[in-house]
């Protein structure tokens, strides 16, 4: 009887927790890389002039991936450089470092805003493409490309600011790394 009661309680708990588990692991639509969560596009079914736009999108995506990897790598360098700072050096760098970090935050926030706008444009593209409204769909893709280019500019700005921060924290050790730029 005790085993049966335990089994019923366990089954009841499992049944009640299933929606909670589903909520804890939302579907792909909450994934960070929004383009991947959209329905797959059969580009070959679209008019020929869309192929050039797709090629451009693919190139921008490759550039963004490379920039993201560079940002990630430099972030690790910043963490390591920060660990190596003495308390005295941290105090002297606090104000100039904060200015650079604030600029990075502004760029990051602008990137997030652009990503939201880009998501709206993707939705519009999917809606227009489904209705075979090619002129509008093409305009949506051109908007997406423009927004992605703006995001790339923000990423490049963050990379530049990260380099400045790295040089600021360890100018004698790190300055030669970026001398050729």
User: 36: pLDDT confidence band, cut at 50, 70 and 90?
Assistant: very low
Evaluate if residue 151 carries a pLDDT over 60.
Answer: yes
pLDDT for position 172: 56
**Mean pLDDT across the chain, nearest whole number?**
78
pLDDT confidence of residue 169: 87
106: left (phi over 0), alpha (psi -120 to 50) or beta: alpha
pLDDT (0 to 100) of residue 16:
35
Q: Residue 85: what pLDDT?
A: 86
pLDDT digits (tens, 9 = 90+) for 69-110: 999 999 999 998 888 888 888 888 989 999 999 999 999 999
Angstrom distance (rounded) from CA 74 to CA 166: 8
Q: How confident is the model at residue 66 (pLDDT cuts 50, 70, 90)?
A: very high
How high is the pLDDT of residue 12? Answer: 38
Tell me what pLDDT residue 38 has. Answer: 58
Sign of the C-alpha dihedral computed for residues 55, 58, 62 and 64 taken in this order: positive
Q: The whole model's pTM is what?
A: 0.70
pLDDT beyond 80 at 144? yes
The answer to whether residue 171 scores a pLDDT higher than 50 is yes
Mean pLDDT is lowest, of 26-35, 63-72, 108-117, for 26-35
Q: Which long-range contacts (CB under 8 A, 24 or more apart) does 44-51 make?
A: 46/129, 46/134, 46/137, 47/134, 47/138, 49/138, 50/137, 50/138, 50/141
**Which residues, 6 or more positions from 100, have their beta carbon under 8 angstroms from its beta carbon?**
161, 164, 165, 168
Say yes or no to pLDDT of 165 above 80.
yes
> Once rounded to an integer, what is the mean pLDDT over residues 149-178?
81
Q: Which DSSP state fits 20?
A: H
Which 8-state DSSP code applies to residue 133? -
**What percent of the chain is modeled with pLDDT above 90?**
55
User: Residues 6 or more apart from 64 whose CB is under 8 A from it?
Assistant: 148, 151, 152, 155
């Amino acid at each position: 009887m005790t085993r049966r009661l335990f089994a019923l309680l366990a089954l009841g708990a499992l049944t009640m927790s299933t929606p909670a588990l589903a909520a804890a692991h939302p579907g792909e639509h909450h994934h960070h890389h929004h383009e991947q969560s959209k329905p797959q596009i059969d580009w070959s079914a679209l008019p020929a002039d869309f192929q050039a736009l797709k090629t451009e999108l693919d190139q921008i995506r490759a550039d963004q991936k490379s920039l993201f990897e560079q940002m990630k790598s430099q972030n690790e360098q910043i963490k390591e450089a920060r660990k190596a700072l003495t308390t005295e050096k941290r105090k002297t760098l606090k104000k100039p470092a904060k200015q650079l970090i604030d600029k990075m935050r502004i760029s990051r926030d602008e990137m997030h805003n652009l990503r939201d706008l880009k998501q709206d444009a993707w939705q519009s593209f999917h809606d227009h493409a489904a209705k075979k409204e090619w002129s509008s769909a093409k305009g949506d893709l051109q908007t997406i490309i423009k927004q992605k280019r703006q995001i790339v500019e923000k990423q490049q700005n963050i990379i530049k600011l990260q380099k400045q921060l790295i040089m600021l924290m360890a100018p004698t050790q790190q300055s030669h790394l970026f001398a050729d730029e």
